[in-house]
Structure 1
Amino acid sequence: MAQRVSLKSFLTTARKALTGPASQRPNPLTFVVGNESADLDSICSALLYAYFRTHAPSSSQQTLHIPLSNLPRADLALRTELNAIFPSSSNSVTPDDLITLSDLPPPSDLTPESTKWYLVDHNVLTGELSKRGFDKSIVGCVDHHDDEGVIPSDAQPRVFAKCGSCMSLVLSQCQPIWDELEPHREIDEELARVAMAPILIDTVNLTSKDKTTDWDIKAAQYAEEKLAATLGSARSNSEGYDRGQYFEHLSRLKDSILHLSYRDILRKDYKRWSDGSLNLGISTVVQGLETCLAEVGEKQTFLTALRDWAREQELDIAAVMTVSKQGGVFTRELLIWALGGQEAVKVVKRFVEKNGETLGLEKWKDGELDEEGENEWRACWRQMEVGSSRKQVAPMLREVMKESARL
């Protein structure tokens, strides 16, 4: 059986390889990166996939894979849910151990030709990594979003499947490696907790009928079997691990945003796309708009912050999607603001015409946040089709953007 090290030691080694002199780095450097929103699923999937690929028993695959969290280091402070994942021990990983965009060498010191990239939880490289040309060096992908046809046909692996959490696909890929590794109580416990966190969050503790699939159920069962083996008692009732308590703890930390500024709320879970002519950004917010307006800042404060964020991100279309529970009822809201002139306004209106009925869009608060103009247009709705998250809405918007660009 292959030997392995702790997650903390693994990250220390990966950081040294990345930040050391170019002459001493592996060439090429191999990265695993999640999407630009850098949520639990992306961060944890990249971390575990990189760890297991690095520890693959086959000598032909034993290459250091560097897990990259796709956000600046300063933004890690917004991911308070990360503090719930790692058990408290002297050798446990902390968020400070994670490798972020801030740790990347400058373009003059790290070129696309000197790298290989595995994508998890997305299949189109965006943001800073795309600007630096690293999308030319993608060699593999594991994703639960729609295949956008960008990943090379000869990529290995090239995995696309619908499930609640990308981690479920990552575990299915890594299970043979994990089973071959020599058991280690503390390391296996930490790995299993990292695996379970995004699965529980993304499937609402495996209770969401819209999101939970066989992939998720099998992955959770496998991870909890690893936990049971390390803790020495029945799965999910083991001392030190209770599925329901773990989910509630993660959820409380993840949903605790009302102490943040609107700018921090908008950038906490944010993704950006460009079709070459228009830029789109979507923020997901885990509290309803009414709650935010009451607790964070009133209407004008919110709209000013959203406009400032759109300017900072150079957006033509800015969207905010909320997801929350009100009185035990799962609700979604959608606000879209076309700020980039007439073309952006046309795209957003066409999106509503094409997808409004499918998404069940109903005017929010009698149009309190709406505004119509020739060069700007803003509308907010209750989204009655609650099964459609950003994963579904973003492709709808981007498809209309592509249609507009072709005209």
Structure 2
Amino acid sequence: MAQRVSLKSFLATARKALTAPPSQRPNPLTFVVGNESADLDSICSAVLYAYFRTHAPSSQSVLHIPLSNLPRADLALRAELNAIFPPSFNSVTPDDLITLSDLPSPSDLPPSATKWYLVDHNVLTGDLTKRGYDKSVVGCVDHHDDEGTIPSHAQPRVFAKCGSCMSLVLSQCQPIWDQLQSHQEIDEELARVAMAPILIDTVKLTSKDKTTDWDVNAAAYAEEKLVAALSVARSNRQRYDREKYFDHLSELKDSILHLSYRDILRKDYKKWTDGSLNLGVSTIVQGFETCLAEVGDKQTFLAALKDWAKEQQLDIAAVMTVSKPGGVFTRELLVWGLGGQDAVKVARRFAEKNGGSLGLEKWNNGELDGEEGGEWRACWRQMDVGSSRKQVAPMLREVMKESARL
């Protein structure tokens, strides 16, 4: 059986390789990266996929560097990471994660010196694309729609619908994990990392809209590893309880009301360019009414969103909320065309084309709606609660593509 190293040791080795002078590091460097929202699913999937690919049988073993797709400063916005890496482990902390801030300069790390595996997305975006790394993608594991950019010869090239990308990552890595020598503390930590996004993204495997056999099977496998590890653990080790673990993760993830609007908007954010228009979509884990009451009033929110759109050079800014007021699962959506006539046309056309299927109903008598200065903004309660950003963003992008073809 292959020898084990701790997750902390693995991340330290990956960081050392990344920061070494070009002449002293592997060529090419191999990366695993999640999407720009850098949520639990993306961060955890990249870490575990990189760990297991690095520890594959010796004939296939290559160091894979897990890259969290966000600046280091933004890690502080993800308090839920503290539930996955609690101090009691005395090992990995969020500070051990490798972020965009740790990348060498483009001149020190050209695309030709890299290989990229994508998890939880299949189109490289942002600064990584500006550096040209999208030309060096060699594999993908994703639960989103295939946008046709991953080469047909990529290995792996995995697309399947499920609640959490981690479920697909575990299915790919299970044979490697089974070959590794058992180690109680390492297996326990890896299993907790695996379970976190699966539980969050499927609501403890109870969401009928999201949970699939991929998720059920992956959770069963990870929890089997976790229970086996804890069965030989010292009596003072933290026990595993699915309900308590989910509740702790959710509490930390949903705790955003102490943040500024700018931090809230960038905490879970994705950006796309289609034609000549830029779209940005932020997801917020509290409803608009709660945010307006606890974070800042209407004027403060709209000013912050407009400033964020300017900072991100957006033509269309969208905000989606997901919350449970009174225990009722609720979604809301705001779309703002603020990049000129074409952006306004796209925003209006999106509402006309998709308002029925999404069940869009005017929010709070149009309190957040507006039309001024060549801009158009509308906010709705979204009755189709099964459609998240994964479904709504492609709808917006399709209208953007239609506009570009006219």
TM range (shorter): over 0.9
Q: Is 325-334 or 368-377 further displaced after alignment?
A: 368-377
Q: Is the 8 A contact 1:45 1:167 kept in 2?
A: yes
User: What secondary structure sits across from 1:139 in the alignment?
Assistant: strand
Q: Is the 8 A contact 1:319 1:334 kept in 2?
A: yes
> What residue in structure 2 maps to residue 325 of structure 1?
324
Distance, in Å, in 1 between the alignment partners of 2:347 and 2:59 is 49
Q: Is the 8 A contact 2:275 2:400 kept in 1?
A: no
> What residue in structure 1 maps to residue 363 of structure 2?
364
How far did residue 60 of structure 1 move? 3.1
Distance, in Å, in 2 between the alignment partners of 1:34 and 1:369 is 33
How far did residue 91 of structure 1 move? 4.4
Matches within 5 A, 1:330-369: 330-369=329-368
User: What secondary structure sits across from 2:329 in the alignment?
Assistant: strand
Distance, in Å, in 2 between the alignment partners of 1:239 and 1:78 is 25
Q: Aligned residues, how many?
A: 403
Residues 151-192 of structure 1: CA deviation (Å, up to 9, x unaligned): 001000000000000000000000000000000000000000
> What residue in structure 2 maps to residue 303 of structure 1?
302
How far did residue 4 of structure 1 move? 1.9
| Matched residue type, 2:300 | T
Distance, in Å, in 2 between the alignment partners of 1:92 and 1:25 is 25
Matches within 5 A, 1:147-186: 147-186=146-185
How far did residue 375 of structure 1 move? 1.9
Q: Is 267-276 or 314-323 further displaced after alignment?
A: 267-276
How far did residue 92 of structure 1 move? 1.5
| Matched residue type, 1:52 | F
Instruction: Pick closer, same or farther for the CA change 1:254–1:403 going to 2, 3 Å.
Output: same
Residues 16-62 of structure 1: CA deviation (Å, up to 9, x unaligned): 000110100100000000000000000000000000000001x3320
Residues 347-398 of structure 1: CA deviation (Å, up to 9, x unaligned): 1111111111010000001111101247200000000000000000000100
Matches within 5 A, 1:36-55: 36-55=36-55
How far did residue 90 of structure 1 move? 6.0
Distance, in Å, in 2 between the alignment partners of 1:87 and 1:315 is 37
Instruction: Pick closer, same or farther for the CA change 1:90–1:203 going to 2, 3 Å.
Output: closer
Distance, in Å, in 1 between the alignment partners of 2:296 and 2:137 is 42
Matches within 5 A, 1:181-192: 181-192=180-191
Q: Is the 8 A contact 1:281 1:318 kept in 2?
A: yes
Distance, in Å, in 1 between the alignment partners of 2:27 and 2:4 is 22
Q: Is the 8 A contact 1:87 1:190 kept in 2?
A: no
> What residue in structure 2 maps to residue 392 of structure 1?
391
| Matched residue type, 1:361 | L
1:274 aligns with 2:282: no
How far did residue 239 of structure 1 move? 6.2
Q: Is the 8 A contact 2:275 2:401 kept in 1?
A: no
Q: Is the 8 A contact 1:17 1:25 kept in 2?
A: yes
Structure 2: which 5+ runs fail to align?
Answer: none
Q: Return the TM-score normalized by structure 1.
A: 0.97
Distance, in Å, in 1 between the alignment partners of 2:337 and 2:89 is 49
Structure 1: which 5+ runs fail to align?
Answer: none
> What residue in structure 2 maps to residue 246 of structure 1?
245
Instruction: Pick closer, same or farther for the CA change 1:188–1:164 going to 2, 3 Å.
Output: same
Distance, in Å, in 1 between the alignment partners of 2:85 and 2:339 is 43
Q: Is the 8 A contact 1:317 1:336 kept in 2?
A: yes
Distance, in Å, in 1 between the alignment partners of 2:211 and 2:41 is 14
How far did residue 325 of structure 1 move? 0.1
Residues 187-217 of structure 1: CA deviation (Å, up to 9, x unaligned): 0000000000000000011111101111000
| Matched residue type, 1:351 | F
> What residue in structure 1 maps to residue 80 of structure 2?
81
**Over the residues paired in the alignment, what is the CA RMSD in angstroms?**
1.3
User: What secondary structure sits across from 1:320 in the alignment?
Assistant: strand
User: What secondary structure sits across from 2:324 in the alignment?
Assistant: strand
Distance, in Å, in 2 between the alignment partners of 1:329 and 1:203 is 16
Distance, in Å, in 1 between the alignment partners of 2:238 and 2:403 is 57
> What residue in structure 2 maps to residue 27 of structure 1?
27
> What residue in structure 2 maps to residue 376 of structure 1?
375
Q: Is the 8 A contact 2:86 2:93 kept in 1?
A: no
1:64 aligns with 2:63: yes
How far did residue 276 of structure 1 move? 4.0
User: What secondary structure sits across from 2:323 in the alignment?
Assistant: strand
Residues 100-136 of structure 1: CA deviation (Å, up to 9, x unaligned): 0000000110001100000000000011101111000
